[in-house]
Amino acid sequence: MNAQEIIRSIEAEQLKSDIPDIYIGDTVRVGVKIKEGDKFRVQPYEGVVIARRHSGINETITVRRVFQGVGVERVFLLHSPRIDGIKVIRRGKVRRAKLYYLRERVGKATRIKQRFDRPL
């Protein structure tokens, strides 16, 4: 076995199998594990998926939400042990792969139509 095959086999063990189908425009709730002292708690982060990058163990999603009038974006590594779980709240109907244009929009202009042909 060469080095690439060894790396691939180690990465395959780390991949999570409980990740739902996530598409651009979906509203998701990501449970993030936060360490406080010697305890862990799960903090939900809910927002719209505006980008997806990479594949395999390096796959990431960018989730955007507006908090107290300020747009906040977080990039989550899907197969990270820090991610407790991901739940799709609603499906979005969009026509492009990256929704960076939402950064310039404010208020009701940021709404995304709901799509009903894909199950949650």
Place of tokens 């950064």: 103
Q: Is residue 27 assigned to a domain?
A: yes
User: Based on the structure, what is the number of domains in the chain?
Assistant: 1
Q: What is the CATH number of the domain that holds 57?
A: 2.30.30.790
Q: What does the pLDDT profile of the chain (120 residues) look like in tens digits?
A: 789 999 999 999 999 999 999 999 999 999 999 999 999 999 999 999 999 999 999 999 999 999 999 999 999 999 999 999 999 999 999 999 999 999 999 999 999 999 999 888
Q: Is residue 35 assigned to a domain?
A: yes
- 69: its two tokens: 């009038």
Cβ of 66: how many Cβ atoms within 10 Å?
Answer: 14
Domain that holds residue 71: 3-105
Q: Is residue 69 assigned to a domain?
A: yes
Residue (of 13, 1, 19) closest to 85 by Cα position: 19
Q: Is residue 117 assigned to a domain?
A: no
- To which H or E segment does residue 70 belong? strand 70-77
Q: Is residue 110 assigned to a domain?
A: no
C-alpha to C-alpha distance for 64 and 50, rounded to whole angstroms: 7
Q: Is residue 75 assigned to a domain?
A: yes
- Say what the pTM is: 0.92
CA-based R_g, the chain, Å = 16
